[in-house]
A = this chain, B = another copy of it.
């Protein structure tokens, strides 16, 4: 008789964004006359940039002719893309990286969920609290997190690093020593950033404790301040303790195009075992490469034209972030984030819980945000808004939200 993976039954409720989506749908069905503005899920609204569209058309044409047709891609991704990544994201910042340390994938969400597969089940993970739900949920599914306490919203075998007002909504080194540390900077959901000296402390700590850092840098394109690192490998010694996850979703609007990559340095080892070799084996066995057309689109991100067009997109979204942050602050809301990240982290009003505030904002302003508690217990009492809407909708949403404070 076959048995299921019982760990799945431990997961409380459904995936955060599915619930947000359901509530939004239900509200729209009940109020078809109202214009609902969605500043919840981190989905972009700007179309794909012209030079990338051109690259995709060219690649589609190639697929239509036998001489230029491309079948299975190389396991790690095409060399043209991996070189563009090495040059554009690493060498350009003075970081030495080999193309065989870059693993192209269909996105950072998949990689952040899958990366734990190469690690033992007896590792104790540490996560920021609040945190992107995939880090914890994928570890729950694997059976690494112990039991769930519905009262506290916490797992018995997870180290939570609270991100609160007093630490600028960014995690600080925990008392209990973890084996694996998930860090996300610029942070989703709080929008907090970290300076290079502060990140260096994490790297030194991980090397000292022989802990592994899984560093999610999906939002690095939104960094505007000089002393904020774009890659963890800007820190000394990071190659012996850190894996970096990168995305094209937010810098190039690829949420529906699907492309990302993971960096696993060859120096990163557990005893004699190279994590680069383990991830290569996982990639080769359970994955079959990103589409050729999409990898060509990724290459165009690094072209001169692509870079210029995308800088414009990032500026557009960061202007939205400014509209949200300044508008809400002016109205009297307590807000943070939005300077080096496309997320604004907002305190609820009148002591409302996150979900109460979600319903309140949806009912009274027709704006969909994401309840902070969905990201972890310390997110309770907070609310996330994203800068990925259109400028017009963002302005309108904030005008409506301003009226919530009398």
Contact = CB atoms under 8 A, between A and B. Distances in A.
Given A14-B281, A281-B11, A292-B256, A123 B2 contact: yes
A351 interface: no
Interface in A1-35: 1-6, 8-9, 11, 14-15, 18
A2 B210 contact: yes
B53 A60 contact: yes
Chain A: number of interface residues, binned into ranges: 35 or more
Contacts of A46: 66, 69
Contacts of A278: 4-5, 8
A305 interface: no
Interface string A305-319: 000000000000000
A120 B71 contact: no
Given A15-B284, A43-B72, A284-B18, A256 B3 contact: no
A256 B71 contact: yes
B291 A258 contact: yes
**How many protomers of this protein does the assembly include?**
2
A154 B46 CA distance: 53
Contacts of A141: 117, 282, 285-286
Contacts of A64: 47-48, 50, 53
Interface in A136-157: 137-138, 141
A285 B63 contact: no
A228 interface: no
Contacts of A210: 1-2
15 contacts: A2-B120, A5-B117, A5-B121, A8-B278, A41-B72, A47-B63, A47-B64, A47-B66, A48-B64, A63-B256, A69-B253, A71-B255, A113-B287, A257-B292, A258-B291
Interface of A: 1-6, 8-9, 11, 14-15, 18, 41, 43-48, 50, 53, 56-57, 60-61, 63-66, 69-73, 75, 106-107, 109-110, 113-114, 117-123, 133-134, 137-138, 141, 179-180, 209-212, 253, 255-258, 270, 273, 275, 278, 281-282, 284-294, 390
